[in-house]
Amino acid sequence: MSEGEISILEREELERKEILKRYKSLLRSIRHDLTKEQKKGIRAAFDLALDAHKDMRRKSGEPYIYHPIAVAKIAASEIGLGTTSIICALIHDVVEDSDYTVEDIRRKFGDKVAKIVDGLTKIKEVFDHTDSMQAENFRKMLLTLSDDVRVILVKLCDRLHNMRTLESMSRKNQLKIASETLFLYAPLAHRLGLYNVKSELEDLSIKYTQREAYKDISLKLNAKKAARDRFIRKFIEPIKKKLEESNLKFEIKGRPKSIYSILKKMSQQGIPFEQVYDLFAIRIILDSEPDKEKADCWTAYSIVTDIYKPNPARTRDWITTPKSNGYESLHTTVMSSDGKWVEVQVRTQRMDEIAEKGYAAHWKYKNSKDGIESDHKAGGVDGWLARIKDILENPSTNALEFLDDFKLQLIHEEIFVFTPNGDLKKMPKGASALDFAFEIHTQVGSKCIGAKVNNKLVPISHILSNGDQVEILTSEKQHPREEWLHIVITGKAIARIRNFLRESKREVAEKGKELLKKRFSKEKVDFNEDNIHKLVKYFKVQSALDLYYSVSKELIAPEKLEISNIINKKPGTQAPKTVAASSKPDSSAKKNEIIVGDEFDMPYSLAKCCSPIPGDDIFGFITIGEGVKIHRTNCPNAVSLMSNYGYRIIKAQWKDSMVKHEKRFLAGIKLIGIDDVGIVSSLTEIISKNMGVNMKAITIESHDGTFEGTISVYVEDTKHLDNLINKIKQKHPTMNVYRIEVGS
């Protein structure tokens, strides 16, 4: 036997031992006692997965079986799911990756496991065909979710492990998967109350989409850890003492804010890391009897606010009225003795478990013997799932439209509104009276002409506020209109209005189709699919339906319908002047500064939405009619582009060999500071004279002793821009200076 064969055998033996070690670790992580039958089921799932994946390896080179074991462990220990979910996690890729079928799963594990695995199989991660395919698969997943929420819970475990091991993937796939995660999976985890999962998914996403920013904040957080720990100890000392005197059982934790939330705050407020003061939160977790939970929380809250002065604008009571995902807690932000704002959260052990484990913990308490049941009525998670199912069951909804509608259901904060009878309804913040009408019933929404809010007559566009009491006014003559789409934000309202408009459009289009048939007959041209397609292409409309509608409404003038000329492409025939021809790639943008894919001379142009400059982390996006557009990975549109159109993403990078760039790139700078005589001349001196930078535009507005300004400058790269910003800060230490998108 050769030396090479011995090493292969040794490696196989080591891997076999490692697989068993990981399996035993999974069993230890299960937090509830297993019956003999449950142990048997988990072992059977493990053996099946081991057989199905025996010849497979991950991109990292590890045996593939490591992945389902890790997913099952996340399900068991981090979300607290039960035996059925653990079995599903172990075999979630079996049908996709082997000869085993859903029927095989059903025979071995029963209908419930088969249904969940089938749901998971339909949403296998990589959808590389078309944009609608990617959206359509997400839609299929949610159809299954509405029947059994465990599909999405296991999928989130799967996504979390894939994000933890994303390092071994190609750069293109890192960007696609990270963006998809930030766009949909993190908000979904948030909506189901999985705050730990949501925060980790967000942090891991920006680790790949905004690499430099992530690294920078991470290093700064670690550098200040010792000082932060000292501050927390000093801050909680008097609270601890008072809580003990009140005979409350408790524990206090200090936790840093996520890197994603810090970066988001920096971006929204236009401030550097050093000016983000609430970098951590203090959490007080009480061990309370079920009937004393609310009273104990308010006692602890009053102890905290007696010691430290609270900010009234930042107090949140989610105990009296929990969030839709079941989250319960008291939040307040108080001023410490060191002059720093600190967020304090007060909750019980039950509330904390629901906050950590989300929907999984809900069911534990909902079905428990002690009678504790969180808000699972029309506004709770069950109600939310019912609303999602309502959107899903609209068969005519375009898949990408559906994604947008669904996203709205995930990201909005909530307000509480009352019906005339005093029933409480949870609505997204920013919802209009028309949204509320559709929430009551589709027919009420479709016939809505106005509303009475707190007994005062208001239009359908009126934005509702917390605590409003709303009565909807209707008329049989009313029907949905196109402009309604601009005054609603809920998925249900948008879907119902679009559906009505589509049906109306089809009726109008039918008339247009008949008119067009007569025109074809008159000119003795065959009315067939090929000829209709030629007209669609010629008039640059989206579909045959749009063509018929445009003919019916005379959006295409009758004299332009020279059918035989268009069909036969006679010389001199041109497209109507009202329709712009598709633009071509800007050849002037091709400066051999960027390698697109593996090509050194592929034409490209720089996206105007984010104006990348050398040194920025970038990617290419293949557009229709405009070639490859180069975006920054932290472009405002990047997450949506990469998650919805992952198949059109192409890697791009600045040439490393370029030390001095011949071309200069446009970048924006925002400045906020104390107004002073000569501030403009001081800035122009730094920018033009000292740094030799050309300015395209400068705008300064002063008000009440302060000023805000934006400057558009031409720079070589990010280093050049950073040097310029630092020079301004050195000259004006109190001034807030940071990069912005050009034109924002």
Q: Note the pLDDT tens digit of each residue in 662-691.
A: 567 888 888 888 877 778 888 888 887 767
Is 405 in a helix, a strand, or coil?
A: helix
Mean pLDDT, range 316-326, rounded to an integer: 82
Multiple choice CATH, 665-740, 3.30.1360.70, 3.30.70.260, 3.40.50.300, 3.40.640.10: 3.30.70.260
Query: Between these two residues, 657 and 316, which has the higher pLDDT value?
Result: 316
- Of 395-399, 571-575, 581-585, 644-648, the range with the lowest mean pLDDT is 581-585
pLDDT at 140: 57
Which residues, other chains included, contact 540 with Cβ-Cβ below 8 Å and sequence gap of 6+?
A: 575, 579
Element (H, E) at 697: strand 694-703
Residues 244 and 286: beta-carbon distance below 8 Å: no
Q: Is the pLDDT of residue 723 over 90?
A: no
H or E stretch at 663: none
The 3-state DSSP class for residue 665 equals strand
CB 348, CB 293: distance < 8 Å: yes
Classified as helix, coil or strand, 740 is: strand
**Domain residue ranges of the chain, discontinuous segments joined by +:** 3-216, 218-366, 499-567, 587-654, 665-740
Q: Are strands 341-348 and 280-286 parallel, antiparallel or unpaired?
A: parallel
∠ Cα 388 390 391 (to 5°): 65
Tokens (6 digits) for 293: 């939970």
The pLDDT of residue 369 is above 80: no
Answer yes or no: is pLDDT of 549 > 80: yes
Vertex 556, ends 552 and 558: CA angle to 5°?
80
Evaluate if residue 571 carries a pLDDT over 50.
no
What is the percentage of the chain residues whose pLDDT exceeds 90? 19
Judge whether residue 372 has pLDDT over 50: no
- How far, in Å, CA of 262 to CA of 239, rounded? 26
For the chain, how many helices (H) and strands (E)? 29, 20
**Please, is 714 exposed, middle or buried when counting C-beta atoms within 10 Å of its C-beta (0-12, 13-18, 19+)?**
middle
Amino acid at 590: K
Contacts of 532 (CB under 8 A, 6+ apart): 544, 547
pLDDT digits (tens, 9 = 90+) for 497-510: 888 888 888 888 88
Query: Which position has the higher pLDDT, 204 or 740?
Result: 204
Instruction: Look up residue 553 and give its DSSP letter.
Output: T
Share of the chain above pLDDT 70, in %: 82
Please state, in angstroms and rounded to a whole number, the distance separating the CA atoms of residues 512 and 498. 20
302 pLDDT higher than 90 = yes
* Alpha-carbon torsion angle 284, 288, 291, 296, nearest 10: -40
User: pLDDT tens across 245-284, in order?
Assistant: 998 999 998 877 889 988 888 887 777 887 777 777 899 9
How far is Cα 488 from Cα 715, in angstroms, rounded to an integer? 43
Residue 123: its pLDDT value, please?
Answer: 56
- The H or E element spanning position 453 is strand 448-453
The arithmetic mean of pLDDT across residues 213-218, rounded, is 90
Average pLDDT for the chain: 80
Mean pLDDT on 608-631 = 83
Distances, alpha carbon 45 to alpha carbons 16, 67, 360, in Å:
17, 14, 21
Assess if CATH 3.30.70.330 describes domain 218-366: no
For residue 375, the model assigns a pLDDT of 37
What residue type is 5 in one-letter code?
E
Task: Please state the length of the chain.
Answer: 744
Q: Quick one: how far is CA 159 from the chain centroid?
A: 14
pLDDT of residue 698: 83
CB 729 within 8 A of CB 701: no
Catalytic residue set: 96-97
Nearest residue to 52 (alpha-carbon basis) of 13, 19, 93, 89: 93
- Cα gap 329→374, rounded to integer Å: 12
> What pLDDT is stored for residue 305 in this prediction?
93
Pairing of strands 316-317, 341-348: unpaired
- CA separation for the pair 615, 716 (Å, rounded): 9
Q: Is the dihedral of CA 732, 735, 738, 741 positive or negative?
A: negative
Is a pLDDT exceeding 90 seen at residue 21?
A: yes
**Phi, psi dihedrals of residue 593, rounded to the nearest 5°:** -95, -20
Average pLDDT over residues 350-363: 74
Gap between the Cα atoms of 729 and 717, Å rounded: 19
Q: How far apart are CA 701 and CA 26, in angstroms?
A: 61
In CATH, 3-216 is 3.40.50.2300: no
What is the mean predicted confidence (pLDDT) over 74-87? Answer: 88
Average pLDDT over residues 634-648: 77
Going by their DSSP bridges, the two strands 604-606 and 628-632 should be labelled as parallel
Are 355 and 329 contacting, i.e. CB atoms less than 8 angstroms apart? yes
What mean pLDDT do residues 386-414 have? 57
- Among 50-54, 418-422, 442-446, the range scoring the smallest mean pLDDT is 418-422
Measure the CA–CA gap between 186 and 203, rounded to whole angstroms: 10
What is the torsional sign of CA 324, 327, 329, 330? negative
The span from the CA of 326 to the CA of 380, in Å, is 7
Q: Write the pLDDT tens digit of every residue in 122-169.
A: 655 433 333 443 555 565 556 555 566 778 888 889 999 999 999 988
Lowest mean pLDDT among 441-455, 605-619, 635-649: 635-649
Question: From CA 116, how far away is CA 147, in angstroms rounded?
Answer: 9
CA 590 and chain centroid, separation: 33
Rounded to whole angstroms, the Cα distance separating 81 from 73 reads 10
Q: Region 482-508: what's the mean pLDDT? A: 85
pTM of the complete model beyond 0.95: no
Nearest Cα to Cα of residue 561 among 539, 537, 533, 528: 539
Q: Give the pairing of strands 456-458 and 424-428.
A: unpaired
Mean pLDDT over 716-733 rounds to 85
| 527 vs 509: CA distance, rounded Å | 16
| Whether residue 1 has pLDDT greater than 80 | no
